[in-house]
Structure 1
Amino acid sequence: MSGNTANPRLWEGADLWTAPLGTALPTDLVTEMTTVPAWEAVGLLSEDGASESRDEDSSDFYAWGGKLVRVKRSKHKRTITVTCLEDNLVVFGLVNPGSEVTTVNGVNTRKIKIPKSEKVAFCLELQDGDITRRRFIPTGEVTNVGEVALSDSALQAFELTITIFPDADDVLYHDIDNDPQGNVPEVPAG
């Protein structure tokens, strides 16, 4: 059997961070996200993890006789879905962009407005033992919020679908990790 059993990843821990557009992310894995200004954690995430999905149109072109000769791809869309388990101010802002919270004498008042489009930066940080991967999404937007249970038999949770927007060079996101299985062999100098 070919392959290497050290290559598969089982992401046993994760955090989702958000910040205003243009906020820098550390270029190393040593710097703790909690020490980087402007980045805020959304809090506890569901044990179901995150999922990434792709959607695009494609058109097939055939030569006379039915032989496939080209495929044209367009309208590529990438999303990440994650479920937040905390009802904190960071999650509130993602779920209800443009809404307000005020606190007076320990009483919170939330004014929920019709959501406005609000693009922000995200960082999904994943751990598998000593392996860490940070997926930096410079421009994303929560474009769908799943149903929220308000009951005594189901945990209140916020399923967020984050749509990822490409930059001017068509880059959707950057991954940085310390996974030895993904190392590109270095060419010796000289």
Structure 2
Amino acid sequence: MSGDPTLANLWTDADVLVSPNLSATLPADANTPFGPDWNLVGLLDGDDGFPETRDEDTDDKFAWGGILVRTSRQHFKLTKSFTALEDNPTTRALIWPGSTDTQIVVPRPARVLVAFETREGDKVRRLITALYAECSLDGDHGENETDLESATIACTIFPTAGGVLFHRQSTPVLESIEVAPATLGVDVGEIGALTATATYDDGSTANVTAEATWISSAPATATVTAGFVTGVAAGAANVSASFGGQTDTCAVTVSAG
């Protein structure tokens, strides 16, 4: 089987955050929490997830003889939905915009910023509306004695003048690690140091020597702990560092001294 299983995603947790302040400060990156302008929707229906619908008018242009030569496209519309399981001020403001604790009025969707966040372990992906969204109830909403009260909310995403729909933030994906030096010579009883450097898909790097798992192929010849290699007996050993599913190896030669 070809492919890279590390690039397959199964999101085990998620949140939706909403801000009525269209000038709300965005987090600097995927590891930065949202600020006080942002309100959590709360519990979500994970089975429903974040379905996305794209609508666009297309018009095919044919040459004489029925040959397709052009397709015009206009009126693109993106809608992203979620199902909320909590009745709280944030969800009520989306379901019944303009209403109060004592009065329900005809809903007129307000313009809000919406952030969709999915998580799996340390991996985070965020889509934050670049301009704004208008959110409204999608389908029926009611109460009964057998199912959790829920509300499916559809958010129409409005693009910027440049056509940008979302700001995307995600934690970088590990691409490789490198053990340095690639070869190491030590005497019996001597200690040599190795480092493990991780490289991510955004071009960033990090020293992961302390976090990596280190293994020696011949502990009777050389042992390794946190990147520190100790010569035990004359001979050769391969010392490997593993981190995030990636591995690299250093060839170690131990001399009698």
Q: TM-score band, normalised by the shorter chain?
A: 0.7 to 0.9
Deviation at 1:185, TM superposition (A): 6.0
CA contact (8 A) 2:137 2:151 kept: no
Whole-angstrom distance in 2 between the partners of 1:65 and 1:44: 56
Distance in 2 (CA, whole Å) between partners of 1:147 and 1:18 is 22
Contact between 2:55 and 2:78, CA under 8 Å: does it hold in 1? yes
Residues 99 and 105 in structure 2, CA contact (< 8 A), matched pair in contact too: yes
Q: What number of residue pairs does the alignment pair up?
A: 176
Give 1:179 deviation, angstroms. 4.1
Residues 130-149 of structure 1 correspond to what in structure 2 (within 5 A)? Answer: 130-137=122-129, 138-149=131-142
Q: Secondary structure at the match of 1:100?
A: coil
Q: Which residue of 2 aligns with 1:107?
A: none
Does residue 2 (structure 1) correspond to residue 20 (structure 2)? The answer is no
CA distance in 1, matches of 2:71, 2:172: 34
1:112 match: 104
Q: CA deviation at 1:7?
A: 1.1
Cα displacement (A) at 1:141: 0.9
**Residue 177 (structure 1) shift:** 0.3
How far residue 88 of structure 1 moved from its aligned partner, in angstroms, is 0.4
Q: Evaluate the alpha carbon distance shift between residue 143 and residue 39 of structure 1 in structure 2; reply closer, same or farther with a 3 A threshold.
A: same
| Structure ranking higher on relative contact order (CA contacts 8 Å, 6+ apart) | 1
The residue type paired with residue 24 of structure 1 is T
CA contact (8 A) 1:95 1:145 kept: no
Instruction: Name the aligned partner's letter for residue 123 of structure 1.
Output: A
Tell me the TM-score normalized by structure 2: 0.65
Q: Secondary structure at the match of 1:125?
A: strand
Report the counterpart of residue 98 of structure 2 in structure 1: 98
Query: For 1:7-27, what per-residue CA distance to the aligned partner results, in whole angstroms no more than 9, with x for missing partners?
Result: 111111100000021212112
Q: Does 1:165 align with 2:183?
A: no
Q: Which has the higher strand share?
A: 2
Which stretch shifts more, 157-166 or 16-25?
16-25
Greater Rg, structure 1 or structure 2? 2
Q: Which amino acid aligns with 1:31?
A: T
Pair 1:185–1:62, CA change in 2 (3 A): farther
- What is the CA deviation profile of residues 97-156 of structure 1, one whole-angstrom value per residue up to 9, with x for unaligned ones? 11112xxxxxxxx31000123110011111022210111013001133321231101110
Superposition pairs for residues 27-46 of structure 1, below 5 Å? 27-33=28-34, 36-46=35-45
With normalisation by structure 1, the TM-score equals: 0.86
Q: In the alignment, does 2:116 pair up with 1:124?
A: yes
Q: CA RMSD in A?
A: 1.8
For residue 68 of structure 1, report the CA deviation from its aligned partner: 1.0
Does structure 2 retain, via aligned residues, the 8 Å contact 1:149–1:155?
A: no
Report how far residue 59 of structure 1 moved: 0.7
By how many angstroms is 1:50 displaced? 1.2
Matches within 5 A, 1:171-186: 171-180=164-173, 183=201
Aligned-pair identity in percent equals: 37
- Residue type matched to 1:127 in 2? R
The gaps in structure 2 that reach 5 residues or longer are: 176-199, 205-257
Q: Which shows bigger deviation, 9-18 or 142-151? A: 142-151
1:69, 1:144 → 2: CA distance? 41
Segments of 5+ residues of structure 1 without an aligned counterpart are 102-109
